[in-house]
């Protein structure tokens, strides 16, 4: 007892200087001493509670059995837990308790509990969790943080917004986040893919029709604009919108009213329009495939979703997130990636952006029987990027000299992939020509085509 009193006297002046709760607890879970801050929080005086089980003093929601504080006392491994305690003022305080083994003297070891009040952090978490984080946009990179900082501004207004970004970057997610953070969140968020339907059908889809408007129109159809009344309409792939419909959309954006197909009754709508595209609309305007006036009407606000290769450090975060998500879905225990697999993931350029990363991780999570993902379970795109990257393949194959191609092809013919039949056919022709040392007659025979067919296809693919 004398020794322990001496220890308290040694430790107390030091721990009293710290503006957080600190308690020293012995291996049996009894309190040895606590600092002034914790005395105020708990409402007890040191001298009254020394020797009493710390759980009665701290009043946390940690369980009696398997209590992390007891575990640390046994294992001597530090631990951090988030819980809540009831203060002397009867306030339920969220706290983070860091428990570390502490050599409190030459005969007795104990644990040190560092108790931080995290009420403020929790409030911030609730605030931002409701506005940004829960919308599923993840990333710590500057590029994505800049976008997230801009998000409340985009949500607060009803102005038309144009979201640009490469395919798979998450334009839809951003549109949904903007809607969810806006005053229109209680109403519908409707997404229409302008490239998915032919013009006539798309007009009916967007603006609706009345019964008898055209053959097959057996009933009235409200259209997406009316279904999104009060909410947000997200027109994705706006670059693929047919020119005649662009005019009608422009009118609706200006007047907030339109005539459904076959109807003489004007419909007024209160809808916020967000458009998304992976095309460069400036180029489409130059090619006269997109109306300039619609572009100006849509481009009131603009947000660009950065490609994954520009999001420094987000690949690991997203890879971990997707792995955790798919492991839970597949009910598998996968702890992470091996160092070589992680290195491959970090070095890849991701032409398909976050969608491609998600697919790669989903595939690996499905195939991998190990506890950690190894490189062999990553797709060939990652392992052999120079051969299989769809965006790079065309140029790379043409630039490389014939012998290299032949060697690479003969090494593993199956590693050549193409994103479509056209690419596959081109590869096949080139491979055969190289195999036949440029003799077109032999190549045609090898391919089972006539010379003229081979010549025509070579011209089609631009192979000289």
Residue with Cβ nearer other proteins (88 or 121): 88
Minimum CB–partner distance for residue 73 and other proteins (Å)? 17
User: What region does 458 belong to: left with phi over 0, alpha with psi -120 to 50, or beta?
Assistant: alpha
What are the Cα distances from residue 38, in Å, to 43, 91, 359? Answer: 8, 14, 50
Residue with Cβ nearer other proteins (7 or 59): 59
Q: In a 3-state reduction of DSSP, which class is residue 83?
A: strand
Site mask for other proteins (CB under 8 A), range 17-46, x = bound: --------------------------xx--
Residue with Cβ nearer other proteins (58 or 397): 58
Minimum CB–partner distance for residue 84 and other proteins (Å)? 10
Contact 462, 455 (CB under 8 A): no
Integer-rounded Cα radius of gyration of the chain: 32
Q: In a 3-state reduction of DSSP, which class is residue 188?
A: coil
Task: Report the run of H or E that residue 344 belongs to, with start and end.
Answer: helix 339-347
What are the Cα distances from residue 57, in Å, to 96, 243, 349? Answer: 16, 73, 55
Residue with Cβ nearer other proteins (46 or 349): 46
Residue with Cβ nearer other proteins (97 or 397): 97
Minimum CB–partner distance for residue 221 and other proteins (Å)? 49
Interface region with other proteins, contact rule CB under 8 A, candidates 81-89, 169-177, 292-300, 305-313? 81-89
Contact 440, 433 (CB under 8 A): yes
Minimum CB–partner distance for residue 302 and other proteins (Å)? 48
Beta strands 21-26 and 31-34: pairing type? antiparallel
Residue with Cβ nearer other proteins (86 or 300): 86
Minimum CB–partner distance for residue 50 and other proteins (Å)? 8
Q: Which two tokens stand for residue 211?
A: 């019964």
How many residues contact other proteins, by CB under 8 A? 22
Q: Side by side, which strands form the sheet with 79-86?
A: 31-34, 21-26, 110-117, 92-102, 79-86
Site mask for other proteins (CB under 8 A), range 41-80, x = bound: --xx---xx-xxx-xxxxx-x--x----------------
Residue with Cβ nearer other proteins (21 or 165): 21
The rounded distance, in Å, linking the Cα atoms of 204 and 210 is: 9
Contact 306, 312 (CB under 8 A): no
Restricting to residues 203-262, name those near other proteins by CB under 8 A.
Answer: none
Residue with Cβ nearer other proteins (46 or 299): 46
The rounded distance, in Å, linking the Cα atoms of 334 and 323 is: 8
438 binds other proteins (CB under 8 A): no
Q: Which two tokens stand for residue 401?
A: 């000299």
The rounded distance, in Å, linking the Cα atoms of 132 and 129 is: 6
Minimum CB–partner distance for residue 97 and other proteins (Å)? 15
Q: First vs last Cα of the chain: how many Å apart?
A: 94
Residue with Cβ nearer other proteins (60 or 204): 60
The rounded distance, in Å, linking the Cα atoms of 52 and 457 is: 88
Minimum CB–partner distance for residue 340 and other proteins (Å)? 47
Contact 68, 81 (CB under 8 A): yes
Restricting to residues 84-103, name those near other proteins by CB under 8 A.
Answer: 85-92
Minimum CB–partner distance for residue 108 and other proteins (Å)? 17
Residue with Cβ nearer other proteins (117 or 180): 117
Minimum CB–partner distance for residue 43 and other proteins (Å)? 6
Minimum CB–partner distance for residue 59 and other proteins (Å)? 4
Q: Which two tokens stand for residue 198?
A: 């032919």
Residue with Cβ nearer other proteins (79 or 86): 86
Site mask for other proteins (CB under 8 A), range 312-331, x = bound: --------------------
Minimum CB–partner distance for residue 63 and other proteins (Å)? 9
What count of other Cβ atoms lies within 10 Å of the Cβ of residue 339?
11
Q: Rounded to the nearest 10 degrees, how much is the dihedral formed by the CA atoms of 31, 33, 39, 42?
A: -10
Residues binding other proteins (CB under 8 A): 43-44, 48-49, 51-53, 55-59, 61, 64, 85-92
């Amino acid at each position: 007892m004398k020794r322990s009193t001496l220890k308290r006297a040694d430790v107390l002046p030091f721990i009293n200087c710290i503006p957080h709760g600190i308690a020293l607890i012995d291996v049996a879970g009894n309190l040895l001493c606590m600092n002034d801050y914790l005395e105020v929080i708990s409402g007890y005086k040191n001298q009254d509670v020394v020797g009493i089980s710390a759980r009665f003093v701290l009043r946390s929601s940690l369980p009696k059995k398997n209590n992390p504080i007891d575990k640390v006392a046994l294992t001597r491994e530090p631990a951090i837990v988030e819980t809540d305690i009831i203060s002397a003022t009867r306030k339920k305080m969220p706290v983070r308790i860091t428990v570390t083994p502490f050599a409190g003297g030459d005969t007795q070891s104990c644990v040190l509990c560092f108790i931080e009040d995290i009420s403020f952090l929790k409030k911030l978490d609730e605030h931002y969790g409701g506005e940004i984080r829960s919308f599923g946009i993840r990333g710590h990179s500057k590029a994505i943080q800049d976008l997230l900082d801009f998000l409340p501004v985009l949500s607060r207004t009803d102005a038309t917004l144009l979201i640009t970004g490469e395919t798979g970057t998450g334009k839809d997610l951003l549109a949904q986040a903007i809607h969810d953070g806006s005053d229109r969140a209680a109403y519908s968020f409707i997404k229409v893919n302008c490239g998915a339907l032919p013009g006539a059908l798309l007009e009916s889809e967007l603006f609706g029709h009345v019964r008898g408007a055209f053959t097959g129109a057996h009933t009235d159809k409200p259209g997406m604009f009316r279904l999104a009344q009060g909410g947000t309409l997200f027109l994705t792939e706006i670059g693929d919108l047919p020119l005649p419909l662009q005019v009608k959309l422009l009118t609706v954006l200006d007047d907030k009213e339109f005539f459904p197909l076959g109807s003489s009754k004007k419909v007024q709508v209160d809808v916020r329009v967000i458009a998304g595209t992976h095309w460069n609309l400036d180029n489409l305007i130059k090619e006269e495939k997109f109306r300039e006036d619609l572009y100006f009407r849509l481009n009131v606000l603009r947000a660009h979703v950065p490609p994954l290769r520009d999001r420094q450090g987000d690949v690991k975060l997203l890879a971990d997130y997707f792995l955790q998500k798919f492991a839970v879905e597949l009910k598998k225990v996968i702890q992470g990636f091996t160092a070589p697999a992680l290195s491959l993931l970090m070095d890849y350029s991701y032409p398909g952006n976050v969608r491609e990363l998600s697919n790669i991780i989903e595939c690996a999570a499905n195939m991998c029987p190990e506890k950690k993902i190894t490189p062999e379970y990553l797709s060939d795109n990652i392992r052999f990027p120079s051969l299989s990257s769809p965006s790079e393949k065309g140029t790379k194959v043409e630039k490389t000299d014939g012998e290299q191609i032949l060697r690479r092809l003969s090494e593993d013919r199956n590693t050549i992939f193409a994103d479509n039949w056209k690419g596959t056919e081109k590869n096949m022709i080139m491979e055969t020509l190289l195999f036949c040392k440029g003799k077109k007659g032999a190549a045609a025979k090898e391919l089972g085509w006539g010379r003229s067919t081979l010549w025509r296809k070579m011209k089609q693919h631009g192979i000289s």
